[in-house]
Chain A
Amino acid sequence: MAEIAEGGGGGHGKGKKRAKKSSTRVDMTPMVDLAFLLLTFFVLTSTFSKPKMLPLAYPAKVEETEKQKGPKMNNGITFLLSEDRIFYYQGEYYNKDHRDKDGSVTELKEVDFGTGEKSVRKLLGKLNNYVLVKKQGLDEKLKRKELNDSTYLKKLDALRVKREALKVLIKTDEEALCKNFIDLVDELKIAEIGVIAPVDITPGELQLMKEKLKK
């Protein structure tokens, strides 16, 4: 702070009163201290990653009377979630009373959320290869400016729901966590899957999963 001139006390001599020469420098230490304090506060409290949103369309509710046998699944896969584990089976569900053409029944396989051989990502990459390869072609075209952004998006949307594209059902039991569910949806979006339907689990599937969980 600027120094305050001391009051001219006492009679020092009889000469002219001279204004005391005070230094033109101001002590800036407190101000700088405060500046650094504020700096630390803002650095520590601010978060830069704004939350994002993950869109997911749910199937429309159907009246109970309209509810008949589920639609025939063409090139479909069903994921079953419980606690922090994830199982899947391909195609339709078959049990003892309703066997597949070759007499087999549905068996669950387990996958994980890593990046290894037994991960969801590898599995989906393999099964949805058709879409992923075609998408790469579209990406190339977009890069070479042969397509504009809106037609690219339109083509991509059409590609994702094609006959050859993989369709996914997600079923959960009462122990499944939201983290797993979102992680799975995230993996599905990475794999460019267009049809994602979270649906109710059937008692047969629940039983199958319980048996798997015990092991």
Chain B
Amino acid sequence: MPKLKIPKSSPSIDMTPMVDLAFLLVTFFMLAASFRASEPVTVNTPSSISDKFIPENVIMVTIDQEGRVFFNLSGTEARREMLTSMMGKYKMSLSEEQIEKFTFMSTFGCTMQELPSYIDTGADDRITFQTKGIQVDSTKTNELYDWISYAGVAALNSAKTAFEEAKLKGENPVADDFKPKFILRVDSKTKYQKAEDVINVFRELNLNNLNFITSSELAPIN
């Protein structure tokens, strides 16, 4: 009987395809990922079936679980304009460095008095910054009212510039696409009454078309 011969195979496997795939995936995830700026609050938004994307020009008010109010405006130019108007109104002076820092900040939440020390706090330490958030009450002279009204003016100006730029490029822009959107970001566990206080400030300014940020959810199939 001839001996059964087992073919000798090398114990090392060719890993080239696997490594190729690994690099392909790494490249994909690196390019697809976009990094978010660190936020001073964590908010778990409720979900809805809405499929509207958030545009670039936004004025966003965040309300966390305890009802603290935070504010955000997109665009560095608009932020600078808003801050300058606010400084004029509250007779405050900030150093050029502080203004620069503010324009690159994301969401912020503090009273006007706390603002300088809030700006000087590092981005990672803002989470623990002791504050009650932006002051809101039913009077017409609350700080949120001023922030929103100045932000509205600044955002409209930046919308105009963006519109003109698009026009110069020979595109066919629709002016409405550039208009700022007013967005509320609320936590699932926020009391609705807290949100209503903020909504009333918007309504006081005659801004009635609001948007809520939600995470997406599948629409029911009929």
Q: Per-residue 0/1 for B27-52: is the Cβ within 8 Å of any A Cβ (1 yes, 0 no)?
A: 00110110000000000011111111
Complex contact B220–A32 (CB within 8 A): no
> What 0/1 pattern do residues 38 to 82 of A give for CB contact below 8 A with B?
110011011001111111111111000000000000000000010
Cβ of B203 and Cβ of A178 under 8 Å apart? no
CB of A40 to closest CB in B, whole Å: 10
Nearest chain A CB to B168 CB, angstrom units? 28
Query: How far is B204's CA from A32's CA once the two chains are assembled, in angstroms?
Result: 59
A52→B195 contact, CB < 8 A: no
Within 8 A of A (CB), among B43-73: 45-54, 63
B22 touching A35, Cβ below 8 Å: yes
Question: A183 vs B215: C-alpha distance in the bound complex, in angstroms?
Answer: 12
Chain B at the A interface: SS class: mixed
Sort chain A's interface into a size bin.
35 or more
B117 contacts the other chain (CB 8 A): no
Find A53's partner among B25, B183, B195 (CB 8 Å cutoff).
B183
CB atoms of B192 and A51 under 8 A apart:
no
Judged by a CB distance under 8 angstroms, whether B189 is at the interface is yes
Residue A168 at the chain B interface, CB threshold 8 Å: no
- Stretch of B92-100, B128-136, B158-166, B206-214 on the interface side: B206-214
Q: How far is the CA of A41 from the CA of B186 in the complex (A)?
A: 29
- Is A128 part of the binding interface, using a Cβ–Cβ cutoff of 8 Å? no
A212 to chain B, nearest CB (A): 18
Q: Are B46 and A39 within 8 A (Cβ)?
A: no
B50 and A55 form a contact (CB under 8 A): yes
Of A52, A58, A60, A81, which one neighbours B52 at CB under 8 angstroms? A52
Q: Mark A150-178, 1 if CB is under 8 A from B, else 0.
A: 00000000000000000000001011111
Partner of A81, one of B33, B192, B213: B192
Q: Which residues of A contact B142 (CB under 8 A)?
A: none
Task: Please state if A172 and B199 are interface contacts (CB–CB under 8 Å).
Answer: no
Flag whether A20 is at the interface (Cβ < 8 A): no
Q: Which residue of B lies closest to A43 (CB)?
A: B29
**B121 interface hit (Cβ, 8 Å):** no
Residues of chain B whose beta carbon lies under 8 Å from any beta carbon of chain A: 15, 19, 22-23, 25-26, 29-30, 32-33, 45-54, 63, 181, 183, 186-193, 195-196, 199, 202-204, 206, 208-217, 219-220
A-B contact pairs, 25 of them (CB 8 A): A35-B23, A36-B22, A39-B22, A42-B26, A43-B25, A45-B33, A49-B215, A50-B54, A51-B213, A52-B48, A53-B183, A54-B211, A55-B52, A56-B211, A58-B202, A61-B203, A175-B191, A177-B188, A178-B189, A181-B192, A183-B46, A186-B47, A186-B49, A190-B49, A190-B219
Interface residues of A (CB under 8 A from B): 28, 32, 35-36, 38-39, 42-43, 45-46, 49-61, 81, 115, 121, 172, 174-183, 185-186, 189-190, 198
